[in-house]
């Protein structure tokens, strides 16, 4: 287990050929006799040789991977985006290097630096808010940069996302159409989750547009808020503003937590209070009642981002046409909880 890894030189010596021939035997397009190629590959396999991409990357100045930052692994939405992105890039022979920031902008900055040190071909970041230094590094990297899951006012470069605020206008409209006027919002109480904060702002704006009181805001702790925190927040809402007719939760997970708290207290959903979430998580479709939610089409975000990257990499001239913004449609999914 502790011997050092083999190099092409070892393979070449064993095969009695030059290192260059070994190199050629591992690429499909170059000219090596089929017999030699097979022989070399077999020898390499027997020796347990594994190609060293560090060296190849340096020489060719190509790394064939795309860096991606997400706030959290263990989030079905981001997982879907990454999954779709990986699938599409894999078709073009590219890999994804994934890192997560834990909803922490300082950590994100560090991640971005570490990722850029590895010289990705492109980088995809989640969200539209980053530290100044992170923005500068991204602008200077000389590679395509794509911000996702948001529509930043001042984008770094390309964008594939949607307006989180707009989704809340959609949700408030939906509830108002059901004659509800006393509507609350449950979310995290810091801006660590910038998309969540954006949704809260959207909620406030939407309520004001309808001439309704936007003051029923419950902070449920440090984002991302969990089922349990959603339940706790719902408890506080029912205690302090019992005449509330509907509550929008920052995610389906907190919405489900809120739902369990209602069930525990014998509060009927949606008859006594309506509940809405965000994200179209599986649980929204399977809980009793099913939960009204917003589907932000996470896989589509990933696919579109991948396609944009491939286009930019294949046609560098194209890049001079300037930053592109691709807006993704979200959908309101009405269910039993409202």
3-state helix/strand/coil string of 202-244: HHHHHHHHCCCCCCCEEECCCCCCCHHHHHHHHHHHHHHCCCC
232 sits in the region (left: phi over 0; alpha: psi -120 to 50; else beta) called: alpha
227 binds DNA (CB under 7 A): no
CA 149 to CA 162: how far, in whole Å?
A: 6
Q: Which stretch binds DNA (CB under 7 A): 58-66, 88-96, 161-169, 183-191?
A: 58-66
Binds DNA by CB under 7 A, chosen from 38, 42, 45, 52: 52
CA 183 to CA 235: how far, in whole Å?
A: 15
Binds a copy of itself by CB under 8 A, chosen from 9, 27, 42, 139: 139
Q: What distance separates the 2 farthest-apart alpha carbons in the chain? A: 85
Q: Which is nearer to DNA, 120 or 223 (CB)?
A: 120
CA 105 to CA 85: how far, in whole Å?
A: 23
Size of the site for a copy of itself (CB under 8 A): 64
Binds a copy of itself by CB under 8 A, chosen from 9, 27, 52, 91: 52
38 binds a copy of itself (CB under 8 A): no
The alpha carbon of residue 122 and the mean position of all alpha carbons in its chain are separated, in whole angstroms, by: 15
48 binds a copy of itself (CB under 8 A): yes
Question: Using CB distances below 5 to 8 A depending on partner kind, what does residue 228 bind out of a copy of itself, DNA, none?
Answer: a copy of itself
Question: Using CB distances below 5 to 8 A depending on partner kind, what does residue 222 bind out of a copy of itself, DNA, none?
Answer: none
The alpha carbon of residue 318 and the mean position of all alpha carbons in its chain are separated, in whole angstroms, by: 25
47 binds DNA (CB under 7 A): no
CA 221 to CA 225: how far, in whole Å?
A: 7
Report the 10 Å Cβ neighbour count for 262: 22
Extract the tokens encoding 99.
């890192």
Question: Using CB distances below 5 to 8 A depending on partner kind, what does residue 203 bind out of DNA, a copy of itself, none?
Answer: none
Binds a copy of itself by CB under 8 A, chosen from 14, 131, 245, 260: 260
Which residues in the 270-329 window bind a copy of itself by CB under 8 A? 282-283, 285-288, 316, 319-320
Backbone angles phi, psi at 98, to 5 degrees: -105, 135
Binds DNA by CB under 7 A, chosen from 14, 23, 226, 245: 23
Q: Which stretch binds a copy of itself (CB under 8 A): 108-116, 170-178, 180-188, 234-242?
A: 108-116
Residue with tokens 């449950």: 186
36 binds DNA (CB under 7 A): yes
CA dihedral sign, ordered 316, 317, 318, 323: positive
283 binds DNA (CB under 7 A): no
* HSE toward the beta carbon, residue 274, CA cutoff 13 A: 22
Q: Which stretch binds DNA (CB under 7 A): 21-29, 176-184, 229-237, 305-313?
A: 21-29
CA 297 to CA 305: how far, in whole Å?
A: 13
Nearest to 185 by CA among 59, 85, 49, 277: 277
Indicate the length of the chain as a whole number.
338
CA 294 to CA 163: how far, in whole Å?
A: 12
The least distance separating DNA from the CB of residue 99, rounded to whole angstroms, comes to 21
Extract the tokens encoding 84.
């779709």
288 binds DNA (CB under 7 A): no
Question: Using CB distances below 5 to 8 A depending on partner kind, what does residue 245 bind out of DNA, a copy of itself, none?
Answer: none
- What residues make contact with a copy of itself under the rule CB under 8 A? 1-6, 48, 50-55, 57-58, 63, 72-76, 78-80, 82-83, 95, 97-99, 113-114, 116-119, 136-137, 139-145, 157, 226-228, 231, 256-257, 260, 263-264, 282-283, 285-288, 316, 319-320
- What residues make contact with DNA under the rule CB under 7 A? 7-9, 16-21, 23-24, 26-27, 30-33, 36, 51-52, 54-56, 58-61
């Amino acid at each position: 287990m502790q011997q050092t890894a083999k190099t092409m030189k070892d393979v070449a010596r064993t095969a009695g050929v030059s290192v260059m021939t070994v190199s050629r035997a591992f690429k499909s397009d170059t000219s090596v006799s089929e017999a030699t190629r097979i022989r070399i590959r077999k020898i390499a396999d027997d020796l347990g040789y594994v190609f060293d991409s560090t060296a190849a990357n340096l020489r060719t100045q190509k790394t064939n991977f795309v860096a991606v930052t997400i706030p959290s692994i263990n989030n079905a939405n981001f997982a879907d985006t990454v999954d779709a992105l990986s699938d599409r890039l894999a078709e073009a022979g590219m890999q994804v290097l994934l890192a997560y920031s834990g909803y922490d902008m300082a950590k994100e900055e560090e991640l971005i630096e570490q990722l850029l040190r590895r010289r990705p071909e492109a980088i995809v970041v989640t969200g539209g808010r980053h530290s100044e230094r992170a923005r500068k590094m991204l602008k200077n990297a000389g590679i395509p940069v794509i911000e996702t899951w948001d529509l930043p006012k001042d984008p770094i470069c390309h964008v594939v996302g949607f307006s989180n605020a707009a989704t809340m206008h959609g949700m408030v409209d939906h509830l108002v159409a059901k004659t509800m006027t006393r509507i609350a919002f449950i979310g995290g109480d810091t801006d660590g989750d910038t998309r969540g904060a954006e949704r809260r702002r959207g909620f406030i704006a939407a309520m004001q547009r309808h001439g309704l009181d936007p003051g029923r805001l419950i902070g449920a702790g440090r984002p991302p808020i969990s089922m349990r925190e959603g339940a706790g927040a719902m408890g506080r809402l029912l205690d302090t503003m019992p005449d509330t007719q509907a509550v929008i939760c920052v995610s389906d997970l907190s919405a489900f937590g809120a739902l369990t708290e209602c069930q525990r207290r014998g509060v009927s959903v949606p008859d006594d209070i309506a509940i809405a979430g965000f994200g179209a998580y599986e649980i929204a479709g399977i809980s009793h009642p099913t939960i009204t939610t917003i589907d932000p089409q996470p896989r589509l975000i990933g696919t579109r981002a991948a396609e944009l990257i491939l286009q930019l990499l294949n046609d560098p001239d194209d890049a001079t046409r300037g930053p592109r913004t691709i807006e993704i449609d979200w959908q309101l999914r009405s269910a039993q909880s409202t």
